[in-house]
Amino acid sequence: MSAIYVTGHRNPDTDSVVAAIAYANLRNALGDREYKPVRIGAINDETRHMLERFGFEAPEYIKNMRTQIADLDFDHPPELDRSVTMDLAWRTMREGEIATLPILNDDGTLYGMLSAGDIASYDMRSIYESHIEELPVFNLLSVLEGQFVNEFGNLVNTVSGDVRVALPQAYEDYSLYSQDTILICGNQPEIVDRALEAGVNCIILCQAEVPRRWSESDSPSCLISTPMDARRAARLVYQAIPAMRVCHREHIVCFHLSDYLDDVREQMLKSRYRCYPVLDEHEQVVGTLSRYHLLRPRRKQVVLVDHNEAAQSVSGLDQVEILEIIDHHRLADIQTKQPIRVRNEPVGSTNTIITSMYQENGVVPSPQMAGLMAAAILSDTVMFKSPTCTKRDKAMAERLARIAHISLDELGQELFSATGADEKSAEELIRTDYKLFHIAEQNIGVSQITCVDSGHLLDRKAEFLETMAKLKKDQELDIILLMLTDVLLEGSHIFYLGSDDVIQQAFSVTPKENAFFLRGAMSRKKQIIPMLTALWG
């Protein structure tokens, strides 16, 4: 089965990214199905620095969770090389009860599609068209279970000609012995001698004795013996041609593993093929897809961490199967089709909850993992100064620090000095930790930049407001706010665009030139959103 994805929210912060990594590591350590941490946004400088600090790679980026061909239980029929015989192709289809087979090139890419209808059509044509052109000798030996009689004579790779069966009354029919003939005969030595003299292209001896003179003959004829009778040999000769000559090659509709189910459905409506080849990223065939595979698609399975709001989650969430939610935010609007496990606790960091889960399951994180999880708790609690921080956050972080043999104070200073704000544009900084909220029909955007010295960021106020104005217009927001959270000042400078009256009533402040300082404001979810919710509620 496919891996279960573990993902945090859009514009992921350190807590979100580390929670995905830590929880996937826990479930894999418990021997469950494979859990794979992923992300749905860019990694910020703080998170990247911590990942490098403790020796982890950033999780794979996932653009969306829409159902893809790779998620379906499509068929995996045998894949035959284009040089195989029609006989082998038909037997493969019959034994596997397969209606259509992909025919491959030597490198595994698609050559064509062979259907039972293609084989039946060719079989009917062979009744009226007796000529075969350039029939590979090895193919002929294979279908007839034959062997060379004059193996050291004229060694040819292919034979061509009209297929004729020698009958006793046809002794005097000299047209039988033209070079452009594939002659099938039984124990008829006189006919064989005359055919050898005439240089018939190929002679097939059916259940016949082979005199030494034939095996030592220097005739240009290719002489083959078979244990089959003439009637059966006459039919199988036509089945010795390569499958590549019969399979369908034009206007083949192919799908790739990365194609989305919605797009595939639409394309299938425009065509009437029974099945379609499925290709991987290297254009190699990995299976076939039919319409009935689309009836009950297998959805991606996902665990959501550090969020439970659809607007903050991955695109295509309506097409996934949510298995579990682990979060420390307010309950929002995500709905599921069946009961799931939800762990939502009033703590300052999702990694605090996941650390508890490690303890409950008797799993001790590695020193590197413990250090990374401690960094995530420090980040989300702003070094324990956020009002969302609890005694549990501190206790768990201290426990992780002991496992990792690190100092929390030193790690915190390193953590909030890794923003790289001076080298980034205003838009990059705003989008690094930016979330959208929908409250009482109001659309709100809130970004937060946490630092240990906000002075150099305050100097860029005009640049920030210009970028915020563009976002407000593009995203049709009622209010947009930017929190410049200063760890040392234990408060946030707030820039905003929107109603002055709303800001005054919500935060009991008198803003000046779209800015104000909110002492003690360290948390977006506990000190900004609740104020606005209470105002509009």
Q: State which amino acid sits at residue 474.
A: D
Q: Does the pLDDT value for residue 153 go beyond 60? A: no
Nearest to 525 by CA among 321, 389, 355: 389
- Work out the number of other CB atoms within 10 angstroms of the CB of residue 271: 10
The 3-state DSSP class for residue 358 equals: helix
Asked whether 23 and 365 are in contact (CB, 8 A), the reply is: no
Closest C-alpha among 317, 315, 419 to residue 40: 315
Whether the per-residue pLDDT at 424 is higher than 90: the answer is: no
Residues 274 and 312 in one domain: no
**Do both 501 and 360 map to the same domain?**
no
498 shares its domain with 516: yes
> Is-contact 21 43, C-beta < 8 A?
no
State whether 274 and 314 are in the same domain: no
pLDDT confidence tier of residue 49, bands split at 50, 70 and 90: very high
Residue 229 inside a domain? The answer is no
Q: How far apart are CA 467 and CA 463, in angstroms?
A: 6
Q: 114: helix, coil or strand? A: strand
- Residues 111 and 256 grouped into a single domain: yes
The arithmetic mean of pLDDT across residues 202-214, rounded, is 87
Q: Of the candidates 269, 237, 267, which has an alpha carbon nearest to the alpha carbon of residue 141? A: 237
Burial bucket for residue 533 (CB in 10 Å: 0-12, 13-18, 19+):
middle
Examine the domain organization and report whether 251 and 119 are in the same domain. yes
∠ CA 341-346-351, nearest 5°, is 70
**Farthest-apart Cα atoms in the chain, separation:** 118
Which phi and psi angles does 536 have, rounded to 5°? -90, -15
Confidence of residue 86 (pLDDT cuts 50, 70, 90): very high
Tell me which of 277, 294, 311 is where a domain ends. 294
Sign of CA dihedral 46, 450, 452, 375: negative
Whole-model pTM: value is 0.67
Residue 325 and residue 342 in one domain: yes
pLDDT of residue 273: 84
Tell me, yes or no, whether 63 and 75 share the same domain.
no
Question: Which has more pLDDT, 192 or 391?
Answer: 391
Other beta carbons within 10 angstroms of residue 178's beta carbon come to: 16
Q: Is 179 inside any structural domain?
A: no
- Which residue among 391, 415, 439 closes a domain? 415
**Are 118 and 251 in a shared domain?**
yes
What is the domain count for the chain?
3
Q: What is the pLDDT of residues 470-505, one digit of tens each?
A: 999 999 999 999 999 988 888 999 999 999 999 999
Same domain, 17 and 58: yes
Query: In what order do the strands lie in the sheet containing 147-148?
Result: 131-136, 158-165, 181-185, 202-206, 222-226, 147-148
- pLDDT tens digits along 323-341: 999 999 888 888 888 899 9
Taking residues 504-523, what's their average pLDDT? 92
**Any domain includes 330:** yes
- Give domain status of residue 172, yes or no: no
pLDDT band at 422 (very low <50, low <70, confident <90, very high): low
pLDDT at 231 over 70: yes
**Kind plus residue range of the DSSP H or E element containing 458:** helix 455-458
Tell me, yes or no, whether 139 lies in a domain.
no
Shared-domain flag, residues 119 and 254: yes
- Is 281 contained in some domain? yes
Q: Is residue 232 included in any domain, yes or no?
A: no
The region of weakest confidence among 105-114, 211-220, 437-446, 501-510 is 211-220
Q: What is the pLDDT of residue 199?
A: 84
Yes or no: say if 22 and 6 are a contact pair by the CB < 8 Å rule. no
Q: Determine the pLDDT at residue 76.
A: 92
Which range (52-56, 391-395, 414-418) has the least confidence?
414-418
Residue 513 backbone class (left: φ over 0; alpha: ψ -120 to 50; beta: rest): left
Can you give the CATH number for the domain in which 117 is found? 3.10.580.10
If you average pLDDT over residues 422-427, what whole number do you get? Answer: 83
Domain that holds residue 27: 4-67+300-415
CB-side neighbour CA atoms (13 Å) of 417: 6
The pLDDT > 70 percentage for the chain reads 96
**Burial class for 291, CB neighbours closer than 10 Å (0-12, 13-18, 19+):** middle
Asked if pLDDT for residue 26 goes beyond 60, the answer is yes
On whether the CB atoms of residues 85 and 143 are closer than 8 A, the answer is yes
Query: Does the structure show a pLDDT above 80 at 176?
Result: no
Q: Which residues pair with 103 in a beta bridge?
A: 80, 112
DSSP 136-164: EHHHHHHHHT-EESSTTS---SEEEEEEE
Q: Which helix (H) or strand (E) holds 480?
A: strand 479-486
* Residues 392 and 477 both lie in one domain: no
**Domain holding 28: CATH number?**
3.90.1640.10
Query: For residue 190, is it within any domain?
Result: no
Mean pLDDT of all residues belonging to the chain:
90
Q: What amino acid occupies position 100?
A: T
**Burial (0-12, 13-18, 19+ Cβ within 10 Å), 247:** buried
Query: What pLDDT, on a 0 to 100 scale, did the predictor assign at position 209?
Result: 84
Average pLDDT score over residue span 127-152: 87
pLDDT at residue 217 in the model: 74
The last residue of a domain, from among 257, 279, 294: 294
Q: What is the CATH number of the domain that holds 458?
A: 3.10.310.20
Share above pLDDT 90 across residues of the chain, in percent, rounded to a whole number: 58
Q: Report the pLDDT value the prediction gives residue 232, as an integer from 0 to 100.
A: 92
